[in-house]
Structures are given as structure tokens and as C-alpha cells.
Chains A and B, each alone.
Chain A
Amino acid sequence: MIAQDLVLDVALVLLALCLLVAAARAVVGPTDADRVLAVDFGFLVTLCAVALLAVRLQTPALLDLVLVGTLVGFLATVALARLVAGRSR
């Protein structure tokens, strides 16, 4: 069990680094589409982290959050992409 906890901790640290990358891309990103992409990626990484935490903390209730999060993330991405696309028309 301890070995599994270690694996999950390593995975969570890697996801934290991914989140940093997403934040950097959202700040730097030359175009607005880059920023939307960074937000989308950040959302995905957060969902991954929530799923891992559900295993790590033994709380299956968190998995409902993943289901809701995938849908909200999709809608947010589409809405932001429409916003970026509409700005130039």
C-alpha cells in the first residue's frame, strides 16, 4: 500500500509540473488560441489530479467531480474558442 501511495505522489508531482507549464503557456502564448489551449490543458491536468486524489485519499465521491469536470471543461473550451474565433470576424 505504501508503494502505491509513493507512485501516486510521484504522479501528482508530475501533474503539478504540467500545471506550471500550462500556466506559462497561458501567460506567454503568442496568440489567444494558445491561451485557450493552455486553459483546456490545465483543466485536463486538474481532472487527472482529482482522479488520482480520489484513489490516494480513498474517497470515491471525488470521482463524481471528474464526470462533471469533463463536461464543464468541454463547454468552457468550446465557448472560449468561439470567443477567440469571433473576435476577428
Chain B
Amino acid sequence: MSVQTVLGDVLLLLGVLLMVVAGIGLVRLPDVYNRTNAVAKAGGLGLVLVLLGVVVLDPGPAAVVVLLLAIGLQLFTVPIAGFEIGQAARLSGAPLAPGTRDRAGLKDGQPGRGDDGQREAEPEQDEAERR
């Protein structure tokens, strides 16, 4: 195995590992907003690392151009997608995790209309009920 192959494989594995970490975060994090963070990291770093690994493995000049274009576009679009999801969650009144500091008054029934303050008051109980 050449240096090129090893480097490409290491990059691929690092990217896949980041995806796995994001998957764990998707299960364990308490909040939509926290999970948005995990998925945005997976998209921004995980996929880009995987694509960089494929570039290092050298699939041919045309494919390398396509991959570099995909990496650039991915780096531009992932933060926007993460922001959109976070904003959608806030506008639809998704509950915050207990212990969130609410300097902006987000916790007191301000987001999404039709929010009865009771949902924010007992987020844990609420989540248990929904399951």
C-alpha cells in the first residue's frame, strides 16, 4: 500500500467516524437545537473529509474536478441548511432543553404562537408523554 492509499483511507475513515459521532449525537443530545449542531458538523466536516479522501485516492482528473466542486458547494450550503432548520425549530416553538439559559426570553412562551407556557415549564415530562 502506497502513502497515497493510506492517506486517502485515513481521511475516509475520519470522515465516517465523524458521521458516526453525529449519529450518536442525534440519539443522545437533548434538544433539536443541539442535534442541529451535530448534523451540521457531520455535513460540514464528515462529508468533506470523505470527499477529500476520495480525491486523495485519485479517481481521475474529471472526477477530481467534480469532487472539489462538491466540497466547495457543501462547505457553503451546510451552514445555511443548519441555520434554516434551527430557525424552523424556533418558529414552530420547539421546546428548549432544561437548563438552557433564556436571556432572550425564549423559554417564556415567546417562540411560536399557540404555545402554552406549560410545555416549556416541564420539558422532560413533556418528552416522556410524547413517547
What is the 8 Å Cβ interface bit string for chain A, positions 67-89, against chain B (1 contact, 0 not)?
A: 10011001001100110110111
Query: Which of B59, B81, B85, B87 is within 8 Å of A55, CB to CB?
Result: B59
Query: Which of A17, A60, A71, A87 is within 8 Å of B20, CB to CB?
Result: A17
What is the 8 Å Cβ interface bit string for chain B, positions 113-127, against chain A (1 contact, 0 not)?
A: 110000000000001
Residues of A in contact (CB 8 Å), total 49
Query: What is the chain B residue whose CB lies nearest that of A83?
Result: B88
Cβ of B92 and Cβ of A87 under 8 Å apart? yes
Main secondary structure, interface of A, reads helix
Tell which of A17, A30, A32 has the most Cβ of chain B within 10 Å: A30
Q: A17-B23, A81-B81 are in contact. Are A31 and B59 (CB under 8 A)?
A: no
**B93 vs chain A, min Cβ distance (A):** 6
Number of A-B contacts (CB under 8 A): 171
- CA of A45 to CA of B114 in the docked complex: distance in angstroms? 35
Cβ of A84 and Cβ of B88 under 8 Å apart? yes
Cβ of B22 and Cβ of A37 under 8 Å apart? no
**A69 vs chain B, min Cβ distance (A):** 8
Residues of B whose CB lies within 8 Å of any CB of A are: 1, 5, 9, 12-13, 15-17, 19-20, 22-24, 26-27, 32, 35-36, 39, 42-43, 46-47, 50-51, 54, 57, 59-60, 62-63, 66-67, 69-70, 73-74, 77-78, 80-81, 84-89, 91-95, 112-114, 127, 130-131
